[in-house]
Structure 1
Amino acid sequence: MTYDFLIIGAGAAGANCAYTLKQAGKSVAVVDKEGIAKGASGAAGAFLSPLPGKKNSYNSLVNDALAYSIDFYEKLMPKLITKKGVLRVSNDNFDKTKLDGNALKHKVLKFKNIEGYYYADAAIVNPVDICNYLLKNCDFYQEDIQELNFKDGYYIFKNFKAKNIILAQGVNSPLVNYPYINISPMFGVKIDVKTSTEIPFNIHKSISISTNKADGTVAIGATQQNHSMTQGECNTTCDKCPFYINTDEEDVKSLLKQANELIDLDDLEVIKVSKGARATIKSYFPVLGKIIDYEKSLKKYPSIKKGTKIPSDLLEYYQNIYSINALGSRGFVFAPYLAKKLKENILDGVAIPKEISLEKLFYKYARTKGV
């Protein structure tokens, strides 16, 4: 088989890229060594929430992506999204001053013993079902690709070949070298529970609690630390990782304790525990675009190390290889929006916004690190 695009990674980023390119008339295959949504995306709480606070480039990106993504899910998969808003409760990291100072439409609301700020434009989605739906018309291969071989205009694999590669690998070791992208794992834990308590909207403080979903469950999620940080890269799922420290029992107790401090959950039954490593960079911005060959570009233009900016079309790139990564804890917020941006860049020549471009990180790294 010959494809226009091979996407490596079948989580939120890869599935959305596959769907978007397929809708644009391209032939698409997706590869993942574990399966569809078997990593961080499958373990995600998949909360779609706004980011209040004084307007800046990051929360503007989050909120633009949120508006696009909620509309995308509602039109395409209305049964897989529950849109009932979110009640945000102040804590030490997100205080009343920051909440009062934002421009997003909200109202002060009290529910039971909780008082906070209610935002109507918030939702939760079913992450595994979303990824499977997006990939239903794409060819999927469960394989562990270790290297990329380019010949006569195609990347050649055992059963197929492709003109273009999109790396949507998250925290897994990349198949090409681009050292200016320093991906760090941020480990998340989610529990799905059943409860007779009616929760009218998502609730967020130090953890997130979902409204009652269509399947009768409630999701409770938070960022935890479950790994030995002697290992900086992930090569498999948490359950198979030799560096994973199994603290499921403690994590569940902690999440339930924090949840019950917000709202009493009656007739509680834990159904499932999920965990995964979310890919982030220091700035928390996602990254997107064609991958610059760092060594070749600096060899061709050594003055880059002194701060010289070269027109992007003159830099050296890996042949037809693109990246979508570092979506962090907002994978299902960012993914549809970024997939659209990447498609527009590849097919229509529309520039990637500067704040999420690989070019920005390339120049910063070259100035500070050199060769």
Structure 2
Amino acid sequence: MKIYDFLIIGAGSAGCNIAHYLQKNGKKIAVIDKEGIAGGGSGAAGAFLSPLPGKENPYNSFVNSALMYSLKFYEEFAPQALNKRGVLRVANNNFESEKLQSNSIKSRYLNTKELQEISQNFTQIDGYFYENAAILNPNEICKKLIEKCDFYKEDVSELIFEDGFYIFENFKAKTVILAQGVIKPLVQTPYIEISPIFGVKIDVKTTTKVPFNIHKSISISTNKSDGTVAIGATKERHDTAKMECITSCDKCAFYVNSEQGQIETLLREADELIKLENLEVVKIYRGARATIKSYFPVIGKVVNFNESLKKYPSIKNGTKIPPNLLEYYPNLYIINALGSRGFVLAPYLAKILGENILNDTPMPKELSSEKLFYKTARKN
């Protein structure tokens, strides 16, 4: 039976990045996923690496710090998988012109005339251009991240911890990290309420040269290495609905029952930004991404909710019990809720979580599982 230092459950952007970080630091790593490497939401992601505009606040500061770290990481780690040509942000309902104009990130305003001088295929739009933006090949990057780890395409239905190890059929691991996205976690974490955000992406052939990524309510990529252009969007949020993903995206009613309409919407909205000539849809991707109401991701030790409240029932009344006194599942961590910015956040989060695990480096409170635990316990 093989023995690993860490088993990572989930081979999307989060799982592959934390696996790479720990392996690079001398740990023996196994990664397991029932759908394969980047087989879920990460493989279906547009993998756009873009800044978050607006006046500075804790969330966009976090996202933009992660972006700068991750761009540098990908440029050094897999330059062939990265296409860095910047992004044009066009005003929409979420980011009106005033918000884009007064944001804290360096940008350059391009009016309609200037854009049409760059490409006659641009329509009557204007926007703000950000140099530090790119697009990745998600499947290529995930495979490269774990090429020095052992990968198992299997389904894990339960966690069994005995004599200091998590025991599985063919191997055992000292520590497990849950990076399962929208899939129901293997232990009870009622303080982490995951809501799936459904996305659709298409790759299209076109004779049009798209000079840089474009983002409005949808995202259009510059021409990738194979010449295709990606068009993608988050199509529906279920922030208030308690939904559980129990099947693959190819069988999900959300996609199967409305696929053609979603594709037509993507193409229509793309046509309102730039004319893609001789267009042919060559591939369709579907995926659900995990998010929580705060929008911040969550990383850290997995708190045993029931046992912690049983030990300290006064937490419900607001008593401040230090995190180190809480009850935790043994040797169990989580990295989840990266939302639609998985490839922006994952390398940065892997560094934070990895340093916490290996060196006991404190992590930012807004990312910690403990913060969500206290909030839920007191609300209950």
Pairwise mapping of residues 155-234 of structure 1 onto structure 2 (< 5 A)?
155-225=166-236, 232-234=243-245
Q: Partner residue of 1:101?
A: 102
- 1:260-299 paired onto structure 2 within 5 Å: 260-299=271-310
Give how far 1:65 is off. Answer: 0.5
1:43 & 1:237 partners in 2: Cα distance?
A: 12
Map of 1:17 onto structure 2: 18
* Letter of the 1:203 counterpart: I
CA RMSD in angstroms comes to 1.4
Structure 1: where are the runs of 5+ without partners? none
1:1-371 equivalences under 5 Å are 1-110=2-111, 111-112=115-116, 113-225=124-236, 232-241=243-252, 244-369=255-380
Say if 1:181 and 1:281, in contact at 8 Å, map to a contact too: yes
Unaligned runs of 5+ in 2: 117-123
Q: Decide whether the 8 Å contact of 1:226 with 1:244 is kept in 2.
A: no
Shift of 1:249: 1.1
Q: Percent identity?
A: 64
CA distance in 2, matches of 1:98, 1:293: 41
3-state SS of 1:332 partner: helix
User: 2:63·2:344 contact (CA, 8 Å) conserved in 1?
Assistant: yes
> Structure 2 length normalisation: TM-score?
0.94
C-alpha deviation, 1:225, in angstroms: 3.7
CA distance in 1, matches of 2:175, 2:247: 24
Contact 1:226–1:245 (CA under 8 A) maintained in structure 2: no
Q: 1 CA distance for matches of 2:252 and 2:165? A: 33
* CA distance in 2: counterparts of 1:92 and 1:343, whole angstroms: 38
For residues 206 and 156 of structure 1, what CA distance do their matches in structure 2 show? 45
Asked if the contact 1:85/1:122 (under 8 Å) is kept, the reply is: yes
Shift of 1:246: 2.8
Residue type at the aligned position of 2:162: K
- Partner Cα separation in structure 1 for residue 241 and residue 178 of structure 2: 25
Deviation at 1:97, TM superposition (A): 1.5
SS across alignment from 2:100: helix
Higher deviation after alignment, 111-120 or 174-183: 111-120
Q: Is the 8 A contact 1:8 1:166 kept in 2?
A: yes
Note the C-alpha offset of 1:242: 5.9
Counterparts of 1:260 and 1:150 in 2: how far apart (Å)?
54
Q: 1:230 to 1:359 in 2, by over 3 A?
A: closer
| Shift of residue 241, structure 1, vs aligned partner | 3.6
Aligned with 1:224: secondary structure? strand
Contact in 1 for aligned 2:309/2:315 (Cα 8 Å): yes
Note the C-alpha offset of 1:91: 1.2
Return the alpha-carbon distance in structure 2 between the equivalents of residues 184 and 298 of structure 1: 25
What amino acid is aligned across from residue 368 of structure 1 in structure 2?
K
1:186 is matched by which residue type in structure 2?
A: I
Paired residue for 2:120? none
Q: In the alignment, is the contact (CA less than 8 A) between 1:231 and 1:243 conserved in 2?
A: no
**Aligned AA (2:6):** F
Name the TM-score, length of structure 1 as normaliser. 0.97
SS of residue paired to 1:193: strand
Q: Are residues 10 and 67 of structure 1, via their aligned partners in 2, closer, same or farther at CA, if it must alter by over 3 Å?
A: same
SS of the residue corresponding to residue 272 of structure 2 reads helix
**Rounded Cα–Cα distance in structure 2 between residues aligned with 1:40 and 1:156:** 28
| Distance (Å, rounded) in 1 between the aligned partners of 2:320 and 2:46 | 40
Task: Please state how far the C-alpha of 1:99 moved relative to its aligned partner.
Answer: 1.0
Q: What CA distance in whole angstroms lies between the structure 2 residues aligned with 1:263 and 1:97?
A: 23
Measure the CA separation in 1 of the matches of 2:371 and 2:291: 16
Is the Cα contact below 8 Å between 1:173 and 1:233 reproduced in 2?
A: yes
> What letter corresponds to residue 55 of structure 1 in structure 2?
E
> In the aligned structure 1, how far is the partner of 2:254 from the partner of 2:304?
31
CA contact (8 A) 1:38 1:237 kept: no
The CA deviation at 1:245 is 3.9
TM-aligned CA deviation for residue 102 of structure 1: 1.2
Q: Which runs of 4+ in 1 moved over 2 A?
A: 240-246
Following TM superposition, by how much is the alpha carbon of 1:244 offset from its aligned partner in structure 2, in angstroms? 5.0
